[in-house]
Structure 1
């Protein structure tokens, strides 16, 4: 790492950490004031300990949400500070290209990308589980999978399973009804079981009442082995928003076709979004550098900041809208996550190329002087 790389990285990281940590603590304070009554219900030795436990589990979610915003603001503030001291003008006039500055900040961007992925894929799935167990604030609102009768319908291959909602995620299912269908989708067997236990080969149903397609009376069976694939851990994930799931959990729900509860399109979209969101800090750093080169000879810091923030937040809005549209099947899952990211990358490339192309080509000529010898 050269002296310039270290200097740019240090300026950026100082502002990034200040914005990220201060902003997260500020939002956390407001959030704790709002849910203070719910925090008091946490089982702990003291109220202070309950508050600290909640803050420890809630803080990572704010870090994850503010990290892209802090990256954009820190990059713009770094360039604005250098512009104010005419450091940026000196760098531009010395022939330093925007691509060179992007390369200098790329290691920091990669570090933030790893941090973003770690928060979203490893930390949040763990912390939100505890928050939902406490049922505090927005985490107390769990999606209802059951109908008015309290039953949940699940799908495994061609078969449909009806179980009580309280059995979701349990290793043993009670009072279940299984409807078996053939390859044409026609019902050929109904099974009512008092309980079902997961085994290595499927589910072992006990005290079964079986009614076949050609039967007029029900048949009583002590046990029945059903080869369906219903994972108890996967059932727990159905009621959680996709953002709170890790990549492996999302992939598991995609492979099981989300047990018929939700379109696999939703989880495919978030698998792609997890990748693009992790790469977003790098993209935003490049955006600030590409946008800042338009102000290499001027001191219009206000326009630099407002313009960069406007472009960045427009990207956030379009990206969120695109993911939402992809979740409902309006566009392919990969397109909902990658289209805004690709469009922003193209805009950054355009800003860099446009400025380079608009610079006049300067040809240096050497002038020699000759004199007559006396």
Structure 2
């Protein structure tokens, strides 16, 4: 059995690596062509072809994380169909490779891909994405904007609550045009801090060029006033970390599972809705497991009987199945957010649907026929 497992694993790994390389090359080309429009602009003369190549290269781990389940499916389908076409799989079956043993063999291979997908999506891709964004903003001389109003965060400490607005991230990683609104226990604005820039340092924000506006508008009409003072430097204690700000400013699907969990806890502690981030958190949990579903979907192709026909049709079918899984995964995410579905069920639904499909195909083609 060691020889059989070695044969299947080696062939599957080579096929998956070849398909993955092809897809990544395609995405690399498209990303680079898309970046050509940013090269040579007057406001970003330092951003040239070399910087664009580095930025596009840093996007590869994110694409790899998204593509791995699809390439695992296509590569395994190609290997299983080729073994069936050349009658090698028939010989393996006569050598003692039964359906359940073949399923266990492929599941072990799938477990390896699960760990690889999790490691890339949770550690490599977030760090690479963050580095690429900072690199691009540094050379372009621009800032990472989020809409017209920036990102909003909320924090509550005792009876006092804070609403924080960050417009953009500067080239050096600092926050630009940060606004902090302080509310009292009854929800009235008590103070406003306007800082031209802010840098996140451990348990506080180092604010620069700060304008403090203290509101005393709840007194008598004749005594109500707003006192404005300016401070060159100021430390504002807070539990808002750089990762939380990154989640608010950048796409949540680029963050690690732990960062998303911390941000969800922060939102819930401050009475904010976390539906969108909870769905993304559970997608991070379930998405690597889809590699197991894909290898089970590929196994029935080894039991198809064809001699003269090529395997192109079956590989194309695998491509369509992989693309449909990717689309269904995104559609369920949007529907779950709009319809307020259970986050874990929304994230797990595509995998469950394809698990039922794979087990049905395995039962019909392998066990019954």
Alignment partner of 1:327 is 2:327: no
Structure 2: give runs of 5+ residues left out of the alignment. none
Cα 1:15–1:214 shift into 2, 3 Å:
same
Confirm or deny: 8 A CA contact 1:146 1:152 kept in the other structure. no
Residue 341 of structure 2: SS of its match in structure 1?
Answer: coil
The aligned counterpart of 2:304 is 295
TM-score (norm 2): 0.76
For the residues of structure 1 that align with 2:143 and 2:339, how far apart are their CA atoms?
25
Residue 352 of structure 1: SS of its match in structure 2?
Answer: helix
For the residues of structure 2 that align with 1:197 and 1:34, how far apart are their CA atoms?
32
Residue 10 of structure 1: SS of its match in structure 2?
Answer: helix
Q: How far did 1:30 drift?
A: 3.3
For the residues of structure 1 that align with 2:67 and 2:105, how far apart are their CA atoms?
23
Confirm or deny: 8 A CA contact 1:68 1:284 kept in the other structure. yes
Confirm or deny: 8 A CA contact 1:145 1:239 kept in the other structure. no
State the Cα deviation string for residues 3-28 of structure 1 (Å, max 9, x = none): 10000001111111111113212331
The aligned counterpart of 1:161 is 163
Q: How far did 1:313 drift?
A: 3.2
The aligned counterpart of 1:177 is 181
* 1:82-97 pair list within 5 angstroms: 82-93=83-94, 96-97=97-98
Confirm or deny: 8 A CA contact 2:213 2:228 kept in the other structure. yes
The aligned counterpart of 2:214 is 209
Question: Which stretch of the first structure deviates more once superposed, 332-341 or 61-70?
Answer: 61-70
The aligned counterpart of 1:366 is none
For the residues of structure 2 that align with 1:163 and 1:240, how far apart are their CA atoms?
14
* 1:48-63 pair list within 5 angstroms: 49-63=50-64
* 1:58-69 pair list within 5 angstroms: 58-69=59-70
Higher relative contact order (CA 8 A, sep 6+): 2
* 1:140-159 pair list within 5 angstroms: 144=146, 146-147=148-149, 153-157=152-156, 159=161
Structure (1 or 2) with the larger CA radius of gyration: 1
Confirm or deny: 8 A CA contact 1:175 1:194 kept in the other structure. yes
Confirm or deny: 8 A CA contact 1:167 1:173 kept in the other structure. no
Q: How far did 1:98 drift?
A: 2.6
Q: How far did 1:119 drift?
A: 1.9
Q: How far did 1:257 drift?
A: 0.8
For the residues of structure 1 that align with 2:24 and 2:162, how far apart are their CA atoms?
45
For the residues of structure 2 that align with 1:294 and 1:98, how far apart are their CA atoms?
10
Q: How far did 1:243 drift?
A: 1.2
Confirm or deny: 8 A CA contact 1:190 1:211 kept in the other structure. yes
For the residues of structure 2 that align with 1:302 and 1:102, how far apart are their CA atoms?
24
> What is the CA RMSD across the aligned residues, in angstroms?
4.0
**Aligned with residue 259 of structure 2, among 222, 227, 249:** 249
Structure 1: give runs of 5+ residues left out of the alignment. 360-374
Residue 331 of structure 1: SS of its match in structure 2?
Answer: coil
For the residues of structure 2 that align with 1:245 and 1:305, how far apart are their CA atoms?
33
The aligned counterpart of 1:30 is 30
